[in-house]
Amino acid sequence: MNTIIGYARVSSDDQDCTVQEEALRAAGCTIVRSEKKSGTTTEGRQELDTLLSFVRTGDTLMVTRIDRLARSVADLEKIVAALKAKGAYLRATEQPIDTSTPAGLAFLQMLGVFAQFETAIRKERQMEGIARAKANGVYKGRKASVDVAAVRTMRDGGIGPSDIAKRLGIGRASVYRALAV
């Protein structure tokens, strides 16, 4: 028996997978898994790993859109290769993607390129915005998490970097960075 398995993903905790989950169930998915993780990498996406290990010959992994699965061509190719090695397929509810057909596979590859491009453009815009904010004195970065004065006082008192790190609950590298300032 071939199973249609759904995968839903959003990037942040303040987002919700409900709309995707409902669309996947409406498309015939008997199993739907979801998670709140960035799509820029497959690292740490346990639900995706579970589905990829669970999928069997003839099964279909279904997503609503390809960007819910991967935001890089390399990750997308890796996922499709894993599915192909198991004799399984990939489909999307909102895009004409079906890796069981040559046209569906070609369309998938084109969308993968655009998803990666979109991520790169978004990152570029974000860096431009940060640079502009810094130039205007608006952006100052995140607040310091290490009390440099406390680190120096402890060092001047003869306490070593490892002990300073333990006492302040910070990493030893942070101690060295604080001392270098």
Q: What is the mean pLDDT of residues 79-101?
A: 91
Q: What is the mean pLDDT of the chain?
A: 89
pTM (2 d.p.) = 0.64
Residues carrying an active site annotation: 11
Q: What is the mean pLDDT of residues 10-15?
A: 88
Q: How does DSSP classify residue 63? A: E
Residue 70 has pLDDT above 80, yes or no: yes
Q: What is the mean pLDDT of residues 69-94?
A: 90
How far is residue 144's CA from residue 174's CA, in Å, rounded to a whole number?
A: 11
Give the 3-state secondary structure of residue 36: strand
Query: What is the H or E stretch that residue 32 is in?
Result: strand 31-36
Computed on alpha carbons and rounded to an integer, the radius of gyration of the chain in Å comes to 23
Is the CB of residue 155 less than 8 Å from the CB of residue 164? yes
Q: What is the mean pLDDT of residues 133-154?
A: 85
How far is residue 150's CA from residue 34's CA, in Å, rounded to a whole number?
A: 44
How do strand 31-36 and strand 89-92 relate by DSSP bridges? unpaired
Return the CATH class of domain 4-119.
alpha beta
Q: What is the mean pLDDT of residues 61-66?
A: 94
Q: How does DSSP classify residue 66? A: G
